[in-house]
Every structure is written in structure tokens, then in C-alpha cells.
Amino acid sequence: AQKITQTQPGMFVQEKEAVTLDCTYDTSDPSYGLFWYKQPSSGEMIFLIYQGSYDQQNATEGRYSLNFQKARKSANLVISASQLGDSAMYFCAMVDFRLRADSWGKLQFGAGTQVVVTP
Amino acid sequence: GAVVSQHPSWVICKSGTSVKIECRSLDFQATTMFWYRQFPKQSLMLMATSNEGSKATYEQGVEKDKFLINHASLTLSTLTVTSAHPEDSSFYICSARFPARGSQYFGPGTRLTVL
């Protein structure tokens, strides 16, 4: 069974600083994908970044980068140069690509980390 | 990116009534859609996987007779909360899986309040 762990319930970060959000996962399957989503107070889920288990390089998308350490089963999100608009809930999620076709793509989410960016 | 809509965005209903929530993929065909439930300050919990033309697959602990899912077309899945009670009040979010690519796109969510 999969399991996603986010150990930081909440974090304060000052504007323009970098912040790292922790995510560890547990799976016995070799083929999986890791996602980070942002959920502002409006409730919409905003996709940030994706890392495949076979990807050799760490994923980057603008100010977001994923520190993927496969042996440690960790997929930490790094937000560089934080902005006030980054204040939101952040979720780490995993998909198991070996599920049968009708369940393919099923995401399991971590508990989330609430980030507050201060001026 | 692909667009997924949900309707309504919020709904208030009386206890005992049924509420239908629609999830539409606007610019792609989605053979698979997912329904999640989120309580305040908590994570998303998968309720069921909806596949076009077949019965939905429910997660453990989710009452299939209470949460009826219909995926009648490649662009529409509906979730009906039957005989709603105050404890069903929650934020319901759907997502649609982009075929082949496997990416998942989320709807904006529906906030249900049962009085």
C-alpha cells in the first residue's frame, strides 16, 4: 500500500526567502509518479510539479524544484524567492503506475503543509 | 492546460434531500474521473474512481448507495449525495485524467452545506 507523509503541518516564511516542504513516501512498486499541488483558500488544486520514479534529473518548474532522493523515498518541494501569493496549503501526492487500467492515475495525498509568507 | 469544471460551486440543502454535482472535462475526453472529499484543514480523500460506461469503483468505507456516481459520457461524471445529512457537509472535488498522458486535472470544487 502507498503512503505519503508530510511532517510539517505549517510553516512561516519571509518574503523572498526559499522554503523546503518535506514529503516522504512509501511504496514497493518501482513505477510511480510524485506530484506537488498548491491549494489556496479558494479551494482549487493547482498543479506545481511532477517527478517520475525513473526520471534521472530533479524536476524544476520556474521557482519550484523537486529534490528527489529515491533511495530515501523523499520528494521535497523547494520554493525559491517566496512571494506573498505563495501562501497556501501544499500537498504532496503519489500515483502508482502499476495499478490496473481503470484505476490508473489514482492519487494518494499527504496531509498537507500550510505555508504562510510574511512581508 | 486542460480545463475541468464543476457545478455547482456551492450548494446549501436541507437534511434528507439529494444533491447532484457535475464534473465536466471541457476540452478533452476523460475515460476516468476521480471524486475526492475534503474536510476543513484536512487532505483530499479519494471517494471513488469513475470510469465511462462502467460502474464506479469505491474506496473502502465509502457508501456506494449514498454517493451515487454516474459517468455517462466521456466528458461528464456526476456525484449524487442521496439523503444528505449535516455530516455530509464537505468540499467535494473532482479530477479528470488526461488520456495517455496520465496527467490529472482538478475541478474547482463544490462546497456542500447540509442544514
As a residue count, chain B comes to: 115
Structure confidence at residue B53 (pLDDT): 84
Chain A residues in contact with B110 by the CB 8 A cut-off are: none
Buried b (16+ CB within 10 A) or exposed e, B84-108: beeebbbbbbbbbbbeeeebbbbbb
Residues A15-70 have pLDDT tens digits of 999 999 999 999 888 888 999 999 999 999 999 999 999 999 999 999 999 999 99
Interchain CB contact of B96 with A (< 8 Å): no
Structure confidence at residue A7 (pLDDT): 95
Residue A1 pLDDT greater than 80, yes or no:
no
Q: Are B55 and B107 in contact (CB under 8 A)?
A: no
Residues B16-67 have pLDDT tens digits of 999 999 999 998 888 889 999 999 989 999 999 998 888 899 999 999 999 9
Query: In a 10 Å sphere around its CB, with 0-12 CB exposed, 13-18 middle and 19+ buried, how is residue A42 labelled?
Result: exposed
Q: Which residue of A has its CA nearest to B54?
A: A102
Q: Which residue of A has its CA nearest to B57?
A: A103
Residue B82 pLDDT greater than 80, yes or no:
yes
Structure confidence at residue A104 (pLDDT): 64
Residue B13 pLDDT greater than 80, yes or no:
yes
Cβ of A47 within 8 Å of Cβ of B44? The answer is: no
Interchain CB contact of B70 with A (< 8 Å): no
| Phi, then psi, of A39 in degrees rounded to 5 | -125, 100
Structure confidence at residue A106 (pLDDT): 82
Candidates B31, B50, B54, B104: best to mutate against A (most CBs of A within 10 A) is B104
Q: Which residue of B has its CA nearest to A88?
A: B41
Interchain CB contact of B92 with A (< 8 Å): no
Structure confidence at residue A102 (pLDDT): 55
Interchain CB contact of A99 with B (< 8 Å): no
Residue B100 pLDDT greater than 80, yes or no:
no
Residues A59-117 have pLDDT tens digits of 999 999 999 999 999 999 999 999 999 999 999 999 887 766 555 678 899 999 999 99
The C-alpha atoms of residue A33 and residue A98 are separated, in whole angstroms, by 11
Structure confidence at residue A74 (pLDDT): 97
